Amino acid sequence: MASNINCVLKIITCLLFIRAGFCNIQPPIVNPSVLTPSKTLGECQACKLFVESFKKGLERTARGKYEGGDAAWEEEKLKKSYKRSEMRLIDIQDGICKEEKDYSIQCHHIAEKAEEYIESWWAQNPDESDDLFSYICVDNLKMCCPKHHFGKECTPCPGDHNNLCSGNGKCRGDGTRKGNGTCLCDAGYTGENCDQCSVGYYLSYKDDNKMLCSPCHRACMGGCRQGTQKDCAACKPGFIFDSDEGCLDINECDDINRCTKDQFCLNSIGSFACIPCDKSCSGCHGDGPDMCRKCAKGYSKKGEFCVGDREDEDPMEAMTASRYMTYIGLLIATGILMPKSTSLGSLVGAMVLTYIVGAEYYCMINGHEGLVKLKDFDLAQLFRT
Ligand SMILES: *[C@@H]1O[C@H](CO)[C@@H](O)[C@H](O)[C@H]1NC(C)=O
């Protein structure tokens, strides 16, 4: 009996697998971000995240746990004792790093390292969370530096701390135990103090404490005076210099031999592309079956369009045929089983029948053609026969 059940189970599994290929149902679309590895943070960033998470825990538990005491004074007393209790610390630590989805592993790692410092801090002044960051991340774990300090020893960033790197960059390692304090300039700026424009940018504004660099026109190569295509030092490939208009786009598609016979040419600013014609075309001047110069073999002109001379066999029909073949196979198998073991045979027979009815119904509700059309599908009629 056990082996019989086993066999039936195998058949069911088998049916389920066949089912998957039947109606051509699309597999679920996997969210690609689930598969990409999680990002990592710098040590100091992770420490900051941990401190933020701890502060959120303080807020979460600020209202106390014991609400609704017998009397107001009693509730007050309980609240006070909870406020600085071991219990509250445990409540905070239970929820720590939970909300930091992407970085929770890193955050937990910091939480572990910070545990002993957190405990001694908790014993002293749990109300003042303002300096928790410097207490944990700067002073004890030594992962961060105060603002505008960098490197292992937290050296002050060179220059005017109100206008570091001319306001157009940041001191390398600012606020962390990393970096060498030199300027890392924003895009468009260069120089030791980020006070010059990079190649491809021009000075668009300057006063005593601020300068702005803006990008040259896209047609320019090797710098410019101002932002238009007339101000270029030279033109990029794909552009041609005109004494009145500056750097102008070349329409590469003017050359009719630019692309092959089965492609059409598409000009774009500074470039062009050769794009394959529709399969119904033999040569075209654009995309789609209505843009053909001539129709391809097996296609002929109907109005604007090139249409196939004979419609291709409907792939859905082939699928339906293969499904019926499977039904027949299943019924034959049932017929073979029936004489050997009547009970097993009839069980499998019933299952096959259920399966076929289920499969057809499934196909129909998914909008595929089944044995019967959904419109005139009559369940009662099925039982009458
Ligand atoms: C500082 O670090 C940057 C990048 O890490 C490097 O390119 C630069 O040469 C360093 N400067 C000095 C003075 O060490």
Residue 178 tokens read as: 């990393």
How many angstroms from the chain centroid is the CA of residue 257? 41
Distance from the alpha carbon of residue 180 to the mean position of ligand 1, in angstroms? 6
Mutation choice for ligand 1 from 155, 172, 183, 185, CB with most ligand atoms inside 8 A:
172
Evaluate whether 51 touches 137 at the Cβ level (below 8 Å).
yes
Which residues have C-beta within 8 Å of that of residue 14, sequence separation ≥ 6? none
Longest dimension (CA), the chain: 101
Beta bridge partners of 170: 184
Evaluate whether 278 touches 292 at the Cβ level (below 8 Å).
yes
Please give all residues whose beta carbon lies within 6 A of any atom in ligand 1, as ranges. Answer: 172, 180, 182
Distance from the alpha carbon of residue 157 to the mean position of ligand 1, in angstroms? 14
User: What is the C-alpha radius of gyration for the chain, rounded to an integer number of angstroms?
Assistant: 37
d(CA 104, CA 272): 47
Which residues have C-beta within 8 Å of that of residue 221, sequence separation ≥ 6? 232, 233, 234, 235, 236, 237
- List the residue whose alpha carbon is closest to atom 7 of ligand 1: 182
pTM across the whole model: 0.58
d(CA 252, CA 234): 19
Atom of ligand 1 nearest to the CA of 182: 1
Strands (E), the chain: 149-150, 155-156, 169-171, 183-185, 189-190, 196-197, 201-206, 211-215, 220-224, 232-235, 239-242, 246-249, 263-268, 271-276, 281-284, 292-295, 299-302, 305-308
Distance from the alpha carbon of residue 143 to the mean position of ligand 1, in angstroms? 20
Predicted confidence pLDDT, tens digits, the chain (385 residues): 445 545 444 544 444 444 444 444 555 566 655 555 557 889 999 999 999 999 999 998 887 765 555 566 666 777 677 888 889 999 999 999 998 888 999 999 999 999 999 998 988 865 666 689 999 999 999 999 999 999 999 999 999 999 999 999 999 999 999 999 999 999 999 999 999 999 999 999 999 889 999 999 999 999 999 999 999 999 999 999 999 999 999 999 999 899 999 999 999 999 999 999 999 999 999 999 999 999 999 999 999 999 998 755 455 655 666 667 777 777 776 676 666 677 776 777 777 778 777 766 665 666 555 454 444 444 555 555 4
